[in-house]
Amino acid sequence: MWDTSGQQRFRELAATLYKGVEGFVMVYDITQPSSFDAALKIRNELITLIGIKEPERFPTMIVGNKSDLHRDRRIQQDMVTQQCRLMGTAQHVDVSAMKNEGVHAAFQSIAKMIMLQVNFNPDWNYFK
């Protein structure tokens, strides 16, 4: 697992860091629309950079952090749901890292998505 926080210096190493990845967990701040846009941009860049041939089948979890600040939410659920549909198999969950709510479930979900993909498609190769 790599937490790059969207930092440019990690983008330059992405081809090496992400070689052979089995899934993406994209985390954004539900109170900051720019963080959602940045997460989508980084995912798209990585898909191209590491050569994932069918990104709509690639296990992806979109995690909205800071659910404890739901009154300040600026990324609406329907917008995230729409993005999940566009990505194919992507799932979404809101969590609060500060309150440790939903974090464990988010990781369990992405692990399950990866295991299902591997078990049902043992010869599947995500990469070009």
Residues contacting residue 112 through CB under 8 Å, at least 6 positions apart: none
Instruction: Phi first, then psi: give them for residue 101, nearest 5 degrees.
Output: -110, 120
Structure tokens at 9: 């210096």
The proportion of the chain whose per-residue pLDDT surpasses 90, expressed as a percent, equals: 51
Q: Are 68 and 61 contacting, i.e. CB atoms less than 8 angstroms apart? A: no
* Long-range contact set of residues 4-12: C-beta below 8 Å, sequence gap at least 24: 4/42, 6/38, 6/39, 6/42, 11/42, 11/45
Task: Name the pLDDT band for 127 (thresholds 50, 70, 90).
Answer: low
List of domains in the chain? 22-120 (3.40.50.300)
In tens, the pLDDT along 75-106 reads 999 999 999 999 988 999 999 999 999 999 99
39, 23 Cβ separation under 8 angstroms:
no
Instruction: Give the SS3 label for residue 62.
Output: strand
In this structure, what token pair is assigned to residue 127?
Answer: 């990469």
